[in-house]
Structure 1
């Protein structure tokens, strides 16, 4: 298993932007447009979002973001593993980092929205193995055949 260097990312590197574009493209492929909640790079640069990239040397392995919802609550956004790093612990490393960062920032609750179709099975399993459980929709989300929300108390 590679050791990943995870760091704050300004979303300027072309590899990072390409992985985010792949993420957006696949979200639109697998879900109706009204159910795609992935954020474009411009939104991930906002002050209420902390964006990170995970590297294996000079190769991008994963990305992820933590959105501050206020009141000690946070949301995981744009969790994505590069195709060459699927099954190699990059997603888990990013998830561990985001949970640790949420705790460091004093957050006591983390939520996320993910797809409910087969292409999202691995993501839902990763979250469940790490203490997230399905919950009622929060924020502007609506849980239905295409989308579920998950949460974890920190």
Structure 2
């Protein structure tokens, strides 16, 4: 089925991380990270970490089903970091990741941020994420904040 035919109508909304579907997708996200990267290279936040006051978390819903999640962490007044981007396997290729990414970019701009940063993996499983970020204007950069050089990490940034 062509990608365009799989597009879904989404409702993206703030999420308090208490719902069963949201918690299950976060758990699946963490599990997936641990399957593809050594423990010291897994930078995904758990449920409690995503509740930090510097983080806003969203979920994307299609006809009552959780389709994806994503978060924005305020690093300082001008910079934000994209965290916990994950699309439920049932919705891969339907534009959910792009919709969430564009939502986070728009929110960062509305909050006065001038740049966004992210860390993603380098194994082959992360190629779709890398392509998505690059297609939305993110470019490779060095480590930022508390990150260190790591062969399993690709760091990217975008000026807003």
Q: TM-score category by the smaller chain?
A: over 0.9
Gapped regions of structure 2 (runs ≥ 5) = 1-6
Q: How far did 1:45 drift?
A: 1.1
Q: 4+ residue stretches of structure 1 with deviation over 4 A?
A: none
Cα RMSD over matched residues? 0.7
Contact 1:143 1:149 in 2 (8 A): no
Gapped regions of structure 1 (runs ≥ 5) = none
Secondary structure (helix, strand or coil) at the match of 2:48 reads helix
Number of residues paired by the alignment? 154
| Greater alpha carbon shift after TM alignment, 135-144 vs 28-37 | 135-144
Structure 1 residue 58 and structure 2 residue 64: aligned? yes
TM-score normalised according to structure 1 size = 0.98
Contact 1:62 1:82 in 2 (8 A): yes
What residue number does 2:11 align with? 5
Deviations 1:102-125 (A, max 9, x none): 001100000000101100000000
Contact 1:19 1:82 in 2 (8 A): yes
Contact 1:64 1:77 in 2 (8 A): yes
TM-score normalised according to structure 2 size = 0.94
